[in-house]
Amino acid sequence: MANGSENGRLNGNLRVLIVEDNPSDAELEIAELRRGGFNVASDLAQTRDEVSDHLAKNVYEVILADYNLPYFRGMETLDILREKGLSIPLILVTGALKSVTAVECVKQVATDYVLKENLTRLSVSVRRALEEARLRVERKRAQDELARKVDELARSNEDLEQFAYVASHDLQEPLRMVAAYTQLLAERYRGKLDDNADKYIGYAVEGAVRMQALIEDVLAFSRVGRNGHEHQATDCDSAVDEAIKNLTAAVQESGVTVTRSPLPILVADQVHLVHLFQNLIGNAIKFRGREPPVVKISAEKNGSEWLFTVADNGIGIAPEHKEFIFKIFQRLHTRSEYSGNGIGLAICRKIVEQHGGRIWVDSEAGQGSTFRFTLAAGPADKELGHETDTRDLISR
Ligand code: ADP
């Protein structure tokens, strides 16, 4: 049907329903459209039933409706269109209409109005209505396509997450057996076989332990999507305190100084926010340079969101790796240089995105790194106090 009417439009064919009680006025309208280059086929309707009947049987590109008919008001055609789920442009063609009423009608989604004493405007008005209808259909098509793609993506993400969860969860058990028995082999037979055997058993134990760590990380990553906690008022200062406490060993061993400007209260997943700060501060400590490590955390309000900054004076990241490091299992160093599996920043990104925010890094190799992320502002802000030096917290 849509194709038929589209082809018609391209050929200059125009199927029009005229809602009009005066046949000679209808004739004038048809003549005007023909003069304007349309090859017109028309039906005439005078009552609600006739309009309804024609709309049920035919496909129209445009409706021309008089405002006042003896038994019917042309604008009521809009109700019929709505009931039938049709979106056909309707142009009021009328003799007696105060401009206020006309504007009201157009506001009520009549496409346009044309005065009977100025019918020369009719073809222009119809052409514009057809063009608008075409654009509407195109826009709707694009929106539907976008919605379908978003749906598809969400489903495929869900499938992937489910796969990662099931695979890593189910792999844990057999892997525990491999790890336990290779460790047993190492303990019982070290020095009793030849040197090569000791070396090979050592490799097997190391591989099993690494694989366990990797699987734990995949599970942790997929849990961020699956085990969301209730979003509640979360004081980011407390989240940072908690993160630093969880990092006590690294904080003490590195002698890091963590300073922070006052942080806001947000409606967020508290457990995940602790995790987010912990990963970023932990990395700042791990990837420290020659200088004693310093981490500066701050937040500033930017319209409806907060922009957080976690800046360090560590080894920095070359600009070409700025995107890469947020991908799962991607890292810039070997395990012998720095421990880790490359999952921390992927988890950070997932947490931030689940809160509707973005995360990125600004850095140059050797110049320290500044991680930034946004989170939606809470309904109310707390009174922000003074800058804190977190060494106090650890010694507390
Ligand atoms: P991991 O720490 O296990 O390597 P991450 O996903 O946390 O995994 O980080 C990925 C990579 O990003 C790291 O291997 C490191 O190269 C780089 N990186 C992350 N944080 C920093 C930082 N603060 N300074 C310098 N490099 C960093």
CA 173 to chain centre: 36
Counting ligand 1 atoms within 8 A of each CB, the residue from 254, 287, 312, 349 with the most, and so the one to mutate, is 287
Give me the residue spans of the domains in the chain: 2-142, 156-226, 232-395
Residue bearing the CA closest to ligand 1, atom 20: 283
Q: For residues 307-345, b (16+ Cβ closer than 10 Å) or e, as one string? A: bbbbbbbbbbbeeeeeeebbebeebeeeeeeeebbbbbb
Atom of ligand 1 nearest to the CA of 284: 23
Atom of ligand 1 nearest to the CA of 331: 14
Give residue 392 CA to ligand 1 midpoint distance, Å. Answer: 27
> Going residue by residue through the chain (396 aa), what tens digit of pLDDT does each one get?
344 444 444 457 999 999 999 999 999 999 999 999 999 999 999 999 999 999 999 999 999 998 877 778 877 898 899 999 998 999 988 876 666 566 666 666 667 888 888 899 999 999 999 999 899 899 999 999 999 999 888 888 888 878 888 888 888 888 889 989 999 998 999 888 888 998 999 899 989 888 888 888 888 888 786 666 778 889 999 999 999 999 999 999 999 999 999 999 998 999 999 999 999 999 999 999 999 999 999 999 988 899 999 999 999 999 999 999 999 888 888 878 888 888 899 999 999 998 999 999 998 888 899 999 999 887 666 656 555 555 455 444
Query: What is the rounded distance in angstroms from the CA atom of residue 239 to the CA atom of residue 272?
Result: 9
Give residue 266 CA to ligand 1 midpoint distance, Å. Answer: 26
Whether domain 2-142 has CATH 3.40.50.2300: the reply is: yes
Query: What is the rounded distance in angstroms from the CA atom of residue 51 to the CA atom of residue 63?
Result: 10
Query: What is the rounded distance in angstroms from the CA atom of residue 309 to the CA atom of residue 295?
Result: 10
Structure tokens at 94: 């009328």
Atom of ligand 1 nearest to the CA of 332: 16
Give residue 210 CA to ligand 1 midpoint distance, Å. Answer: 18
Residue bearing the CA closest to ligand 1, atom 8: 342
DSSP state of 333: S
Pocket of ligand 1 (CB under 6 A): 279, 283-284, 287, 312, 314-317, 325, 331-333, 340-346, 369
Give residue 354 CA to ligand 1 midpoint distance, Å. Answer: 21
- The CATH architecture that domain 232-395 belongs to is 2-Layer Sandwich (3.30)
Where are the extended beta strands (E) located within 61-198? 62-65, 68-69, 72-73, 90-94, 112-115
